[in-house]
Amino acid sequence: MYLDGKQVLYWMKGNASAADFISMVMEISHLWDDLIDKDKPLEDEVVNQCFFDALIRLPRNEFYRKNFDHLNSVMMNSISNWLIANDMERGGGELELNIAFILRSSYVDLITQSALLIGGQAWASQVGKDVRKLTHHEKYKGYLRALDEEKKARQAAAR
């Protein structure tokens, strides 16, 4: 899921530092996913920039620094859920795939929790509904098609 910068800024009620935090985490998350899925070629410059963002820019982000204790725990949980989803996708049956479909997108909790910190619970609930609909717009059948393509790409890369 790639987010429109204006949409993220709206969800963050104009807080540019929060929007930058969200954008960086989404870009880092997607590159990490692409590295693991091996489903598309990645330019060295893109990988280098992403690692620079993860190691240098993200820890210096004002919003993240101010809310580190809260957001870092959410990020840790999101990563754990993504790893679990990957395992379930690769070795599971129908139930595991149903669970993985939702579980793998736990990273969007960072958006909801950032909205909570900025605008309170009612705002977080509104943003959460919007972002979940956007995240799962492909629906389950689309997810299964994409997963099948990723499996084929991983197999081809392994050869």
What is the pLDDT at residue 1? 57
Rounded distance, CA 143 to CA 39, Å? 14
Per-residue tokens: 5: 């910068």
pTM of the predicted model as reported, rounded to 2 decimal places: 0.89
Find the farthest-apart pair of alpha carbons in the chain and give their distance in angstroms, rounded.
Answer: 51
Its domain, for residue 151, covers: 5-158
Q: Number of folded domains in the chain?
A: 1
Question: CB of 82 within 8 A of CB of 104?
Answer: yes
Question: CB of 58 within 8 A of CB of 24?
Answer: yes
pLDDT digits (tens, 9 = 90+) for 58-112: 999 999 999 999 999 999 999 999 999 999 998 878 999 999 999 988 999 999 9
